[in-house]
Structure formats: C-alpha cells, structure tokens
Amino acid sequence: MLNSKERAALRSMAAQIQPIMQIGKGGISENLAKTVSDALEARELIKLSMLENCDYTVRDMAEELAKATHSEVVAVIGRKVILYRESKTKKRIEI
C-alpha cells in the first residue's frame, strides 16, 4: 500500500512517460491483464489511456485492472490511469 508521499513521487515520475496502451470497449480480458502485468514487471510504472467508447468509468476500470494485475492505482487523471507494481526481478524505481 502506497502512502501519499510515495504516491506523489510516482505521479511526478509518470508525468514524463507516454501511455503505452489504450483500453477500449472490450474492457479487461485475460490477455489484456497479462500484457499489463508483463509491462509492470518490465517497467514498474506505466500509464494507460481509456478510450471514450469504454462502457465503464475510468476509476472502475483502473481498480479492476489493478486487482487483476496485483498492482496499485497511483492516479486517475482524466482518461489516463497510472499503475505501479514493484518488479520481482528488475527493481528500477526507488521510492
């Protein structure tokens, strides 16, 4: 569980990165969860973009994706979601 200071530091780091993936009408599938999990393992901090044709709210989709990938939602800004999970093999971010 992240505290507010760690969350702020991660949000600051995420400001420079571009979204690596878009989530649309299909929602969260096993394949999407696996892809996001792999990206989290490689990068630890990722930004995703939710398309407008998505049937769920951005916050609901972020929480569901975090649950599926065992990660934490750092922030939801507009239609962008920032997720963080510490890597088991390649720890890159010190917070």
Rounded distance between C-alpha atoms, residue 42 and residue 45, angstroms: 9
Rounded distance between C-alpha atoms, residue 11 and residue 9, angstroms: 5
Rounded distance between C-alpha atoms, residue 77 and residue 94, angstroms: 23
What is the per-residue pLDDT for 25? 85
SS3 57: coil
- Note the pLDDT tens digit of each residue in 23-58: 988 888 899 999 999 999 999 999 999 998 887 899
Instruction: Give this prediction's pTM.
Output: 0.93
Classify domain 4-84 by CATH architecture.
Answer: 2-Layer Sandwich (3.30)
- Note the pLDDT tens digit of each residue in 3-12: 999 999 999 9
State the sign of the Cα–Cα–Cα–Cα dihedral 28, 29, 31, 33. positive
Residue 82: which of 53, 56, 54, 59 has the closest Cα? 59
What is the per-residue pLDDT for 27? 81
